[in-house]
Amino acid sequence: MSKLGVAFARLSEEPPFRLITKAIVKRLPVSIRTKARWDTDPRPQYLAGVLAAADEAKQEGVGEISVFEFGVAGGNGLLALGDVAVAVEAETGVKIAVYGFDTGSGLPALTGDYRDYPDHWQPGDYPMDEAALRRRLRSNTELVIGNVRDTVPQVLPGIPQPTGFVAVDVDIYSSTCDVLRIFSNGGRKMLRRVFMYCDDVDLMFTHRFAGELLAIEEFNKSDVGVKIDCWRGIAKQRPFPEAAWLNRMYIAHDVDAISKVRPQRKAKLITVDQEVGATG
């Protein structure tokens, strides 16, 4: 790209020009990566996570992955995830199977203490019209009905594709603990890095002693070879680094699997003429 082109690209990402650029990108037949960078998808968190999972799969030499939404409620998110999977599969060549897990009848019984935010949630919140949702599901999407405490250990072993992306929107601590068992069940199938979206971690009433944040903290303290951390660096090189959803993105690192990897390649090299990172 010429210097003029680089300057124009940088200018297009500066306020207020970035809003104009985003509006243009939204209306053009651009690549899925461009849509992801400019947050033009209705669920940018899903597009970012699924695209990153497909890229990770290709890096690991994996041709198929599964992506999940836990906490489907009305179903708009699951429908969006199905659409995203189709678009990412078409662009990357990685086959993507979509799974949605929900009780179908709203939130289950709470723990009875502060950990499930009983001053905000109650059993039965967010019930589903299952028949109406099933009529709209894509062929790449499977809806699993039942309490995740039961369905995760029952259904997950029969899913052949390794997990690549997980959206957690079950609201309460107890159900989040059950969801995270996808990473601790024996014979887990997952990419070395599974990209995650956790919906209820930055609301006014949330804190690290309850809800999804507490479930993640306790999971990380357990003797499991998977550790969950915030998705570091996701806001870099983005036109809208202040977008709220970026703070809800996480990565589950299979540290056991990562420890066994030994790259077979030539050594990386930085010459004196290159400017790479902060130390190159």
Predicted TM-score (pTM) of this structure: 0.91
CATH number where 182 lies: 3.40.50.150
Asked whether residue 192 is domain-assigned, the answer is yes
Residue 239 dihedral angles phi and psi, to the nearest 5°: -65, -25
- State yes or no: cis peptide before 16, omega within 30 of 0: yes
Q: Report residue 176 as tokens.
A: 């989040």
Count of structural domains within the chain: 1
3-state helix, strand, coil in the chain (%, to 5): 40, 15, 45
Q: What is the pLDDT of residue 15?
A: 80
Q: What is the pLDDT of residue 272?
A: 81
Residue 96 dihedral angles phi and psi, to the nearest 5°: -130, 120
Asked whether residue 189 is domain-assigned, the answer is yes
Asked whether residue 217 is domain-assigned, the answer is yes
Asked whether residue 94 is domain-assigned, the answer is yes
Asked whether residue 157 is domain-assigned, the answer is yes
Give the chain's residues under pLDDT 50. Answer: none
Asked whether residue 82 is domain-assigned, the answer is yes
Q: What is the pLDDT of residue 237?
A: 87
Asked whether residue 177 is domain-assigned, the answer is yes
Q: What is the pLDDT of residue 279?
A: 52
Asked whether residue 276 is domain-assigned, the answer is no
Quote the domain boundaries for residue 44.
33-259
Q: What is the pLDDT of residue 95?
A: 98
Instruction: Name the residue with tokens 């309490």.
Output: 147
